[in-house]
Chains A and B, each alone.
Chain A
Amino acid sequence: MIKAENITKIYGKGEIAVRALHEVSFSVEEGEFVAIMGPSGSGKSTLMNILGCLDTATSGRYILNGTDVSNMSDKELARIRNRKIGFIFQTFNLLPRLTALKNVEQPMIYRGVRKKEREEIAKRVLTEVGLDDRLHHRPNELSGGQRQRVAIARALVNEPDIILADEPTGNLDSKSEEDILNILRELNERGITLVVVTHDYSVAKYAHRIVHFRDGEIVKEERLLQDDGGGSLEVD
């Protein structure tokens, strides 16, 4: 599904250049749930942005679903972000002036789905994340957990191949965190490939695999054997 080879990302030039990623090779299988952990500044977000086609690597190759994304045009990248990838942010990133329903409709507008169908899909997905009674609320009228559920619905509407979540529960209390985690796990059980960045082991333990970052490099990978709720450790 995802195959990143020797990805290096350098921010800035000369004296102030920061090497955020160094020759990282990283792959994700279809249907897999991968957690990425590591200290602050270790390059987790940088990798996620590259995987999400929001940013490009300084060097290295990134193959998404069999196609090389490294040298694509702006328009092609936009199309991939729109249809293949669902991105979930720590800060939700909803459009503040639009209702939950409208927010969820936005990706479908760029895909060219007609209004009536758009509304139907958006309602259905919002219902799936338990927000059928909050369709016409704006983000500032929703709790953090509800906002993140809107964001998840938005990430889902175009039926992406993969969902990338960068600290999706970082801004939430433990109750909301659990709700969001349950939704994500359910999605994964339905077959959606999932990559989640987290600082929290209680989040990561639900993954099939945990990838540890330090100073822009992968330092450790653990594979977890999942049975119901919580994994046991099996070190590679």
Chain B
Amino acid sequence: MKLPERIKISLTGVWSNKFRSFLTLLGIIIGVSSVIIMVSLGSGTQKVVGGQFEELFSRQVYLTSNWNLPYNQMGELSLDDVDYLKESMIGVVDVIPFFRTWKEVTYEGREYTTSVAGVVEKALEVTNLKLEYGRMISEEDVKNHERVAVVGQRILEQLTGSTDYGSFPGLEIRIENQKFLVVGVLGIAASTVSLSNETVLVPMTTFRDIWRMEGEHPEFFLITYDARTGERDIIKQAEYLLNNKYGTVRGESRFMMSGIESEMNLINNIINIMTMVLGSIAAISLLVGGIGVMNIMLVTVKERTREIGIRKAIGASSQDIQSQFLLEAIILAGGGGLIGILVGVGISSLISLILAMSFEWWQGGTPFWVIFLSFAVTTAIGIIFGFYPAYKASKLDPIEALGYE
């Protein structure tokens, strides 16, 4: 008897109890989708670990006041700290200050309140911001205190009511009644430092001239470092130097620092917990699912005792019967596996989508191996838990089976 024939007979068996089969499979469906979600999310950090990140972007530390402290104890950075850190730290490439304030931007009577950042020319390459049109603020601009601005396209959109981004450079806008010439347009790009296409960049020097109060202290530094130095090391050095200069509050630094590694550690912790929870759910549900398969197969064998007797009477061997019911169990479990794979891939894509919105570096996706593995595992469950019922079916005495009501 050929395999396709066997499969057909077994499929008929599963199909004749569709709803019951589906209920039985819930355990396996939940188990498999948990595994898929778990592995898919776990793989989201792989790309970063694998070092496939844009080099510079991954090798930077964000330094700012320790917002956990009371206002009067929080550290405040100064421009002197740029050179202080740059000269004292080993492995550092650059320290880039950012000033920031919220201002009203106006153009031809329309206004828009947004974040304005005072930056140096290097700000663009370290922030992952994307210059869509025009040019970035230059070293000259900074040196000469020029009234130029690089403006997020979203702001210009709102101010002009137009989406002809290419025409924006050359416009004259006002930031709190100060005239600025738009020289560049920022496009859409997620950034780690809350600068976006809704930000206005102006030369740091101009910023400090106009807004003396906000220009006194940089809001944050971005410290970039070389490939031989680790994130922990940079954070330790910076913390040590700043603590030395500014002192600590009951042992706690007045500043805080974070890098992509620390951010990733946080995510990794969450993922580890999820992995553990989902892993247990998966293990338990697969076991329950397996027992479900065994249970339903035992019921099926019992219900179909007469069928077994008939099949034996017309020439089925014990082996034929055994493989028929084993195949049914495999189809049942494997079918659950397939549904579980679909559900799992669906849910993890959704979660991945959400994470990708919050974390620039997120690279989630369901690896192929876990799909194959899930399929293999559920098939194995079918074999393991289907074996006993199938064996029991094969050992039925044909006469007794025929007489079964």
- Which residues of A does B touch, CB under 8 Å? 49, 52, 54-55, 74-75, 77-79, 81-83, 87, 89, 93-95, 97, 106-107, 109-112, 154, 158
The answer to whether B315 and A110 have CB atoms under 8 Å apart is: yes
The answer to whether B313 and A81 have CB atoms under 8 Å apart is: yes
Known: A75-B319, A93-B402, A97-B16. Contact between A87 and B2, CB under 8 A? no
**Interface segment out of the listed B52-60, B236-244, B304-312:** B304-312
* Main SS at interface, chain B: helix
Q: Is B5 an interface residue (CB 8 A)?
A: yes
User: Which residue of chain B has its CB nearest to the CB of A75?
Assistant: B317
The answer to whether A74 and B317 have CB atoms under 8 Å apart is: yes
The answer to whether B315 and A154 have CB atoms under 8 Å apart is: no
- Find chain B residues with CB under 8 A from A52 CB: 313
Known: A97-B12, A97-B16, A110-B1. Contact between A82 and B318, CB under 8 A? no
Alpha-carbon distance A87/B307, docked complex (angstroms) = 15
The answer to whether B315 and A78 have CB atoms under 8 Å apart is: yes
Which of B2, B9, B399 is packed against the most chain A CB atoms within 10 Å? B399
Known: A95-B307, A97-B12. Contact between A158 and B315, CB under 8 A? yes
The answer to whether B1 and A112 have CB atoms under 8 Å apart is: yes
Known: A82-B314, A87-B314. Contact between A54 and B399, CB under 8 A? yes
The answer to whether A54 and B317 have CB atoms under 8 Å apart is: no
The answer to whether B312 and A54 have CB atoms under 8 Å apart is: yes
Known: A54-B313, A93-B310, A95-B310. Contact between A49 and B1, CB under 8 A? no
- Which residues of B does A touch, CB under 8 Å? 1-2, 5, 9, 12, 16, 306-307, 309-320, 397-399, 402
Of A83, A87, A111, which contacts B313 at CB under 8 A? Answer: A87
The answer to whether A81 and B312 have CB atoms under 8 Å apart is: yes
- Find chain A residues with CB under 8 A from B315 CB: 78-79, 81-83, 107, 110-111, 158
In the complex, besides A81-B312, A87-B313, 9 extra interface pairs with C-beta distance below 8 angstroms are A52-B313, A54-B312, A54-B402, A55-B397, A55-B399, A81-B315, A82-B314, A82-B315, A87-B314
* Main SS at interface, chain A: helix
User: Which residue of chain A has its CB nearest to the CB of B318?
Assistant: A74
14 contacts between A and B (CB under 8 A): A52-B313, A54-B399, A54-B402, A55-B399, A74-B318, A75-B317, A77-B317, A81-B313, A81-B315, A97-B12, A109-B5, A110-B320, A112-B1, A112-B2
User: Which residue of chain B has its CB nearest to the CB of A96?
Assistant: B307
Alpha-carbon distance A112/B307, docked complex (angstroms) = 20
The answer to whether A54 and B398 have CB atoms under 8 Å apart is: yes
The answer to whether B311 and A106 have CB atoms under 8 Å apart is: yes
The answer to whether A109 and B313 have CB atoms under 8 Å apart is: no
Alpha-carbon distance A107/B320, docked complex (angstroms) = 12
User: Which residue of chain A has its CB nearest to the CB of B319?
Assistant: A75
Known: A49-B399, A54-B398, A112-B2. Contact between A78 and B316, CB under 8 A? yes
Which of B2, B307, B314, B398 is packed against the most chain A CB atoms within 10 Å? B314
Alpha-carbon distance A94/B402, docked complex (angstroms) = 11
User: Which residue of chain A has its CB nearest to the CB of B398?
Assistant: A54
Alpha-carbon distance A150/B381, docked complex (angstroms) = 39
Of A55, A77, A78, A158, which contacts B320 at CB under 8 A? Answer: A78
Alpha-carbon distance A55/B401, docked complex (angstroms) = 12
- Find chain A residues with CB under 8 A from B16 CB: 97
Alpha-carbon distance A54/B309, docked complex (angstroms) = 9
- Find chain B residues with CB under 8 A from A110 CB: 1, 311, 314-316, 320
Alpha-carbon distance A221/B102, docked complex (angstroms) = 116
Alpha-carbon distance A158/B307, docked complex (angstroms) = 19
Minimum CB–CB distance from B324 to chain A (whole Å) comes to 11
- Find chain B residues with CB under 8 A from A97 CB: 12, 16
- Find chain A residues with CB under 8 A from B307 CB: 95
User: Which residue of chain B has its CB nearest to the CB of A110?
Assistant: B315
Minimum CB–CB distance from A77 to chain B (whole Å) comes to 8
User: Which residue of chain A has its CB nearest to the CB of B314?
Assistant: A107
Instruction: List 6 A-B pairs, minimum CB-CB distance, nearest first.
Output: A82-B315, A78-B317, A110-B315, A107-B314, A75-B317, A54-B398
- Find chain B residues with CB under 8 A from A49 CB: 399
Minimum CB–CB distance from B81 to chain A (whole Å) comes to 82
User: Which residue of chain A has its CB nearest to the CB of B321?
Assistant: A78
- Find chain B residues with CB under 8 A from A94 CB: 310
Of B2, B314, B318, B319, which contacts A106 at CB under 8 A? Answer: B314
Known: A109-B1, A109-B5, A112-B1. Contact between A78 and B312, CB under 8 A? yes
Alpha-carbon distance A106/B324, docked complex (angstroms) = 13
User: Which residue of chain A has its CB nearest to the CB of B403?
Assistant: A91
- Find chain A residues with CB under 8 A from B397 CB: 55
Alpha-carbon distance A106/B398, docked complex (angstroms) = 16
Alpha-carbon distance A107/B5, docked complex (angstroms) = 12
- Find chain B residues with CB under 8 A from A106 CB: 311, 314
Known: A107-B314, A154-B314. Contact between A89 and B402, CB under 8 A? yes
- Find chain B residues with CB under 8 A from A75 CB: 317-319
- Find chain A residues with CB under 8 A from B9 CB: 109
Alpha-carbon distance A83/B1, docked complex (angstroms) = 14
Minimum CB–CB distance from A214 to chain B (whole Å) comes to 22
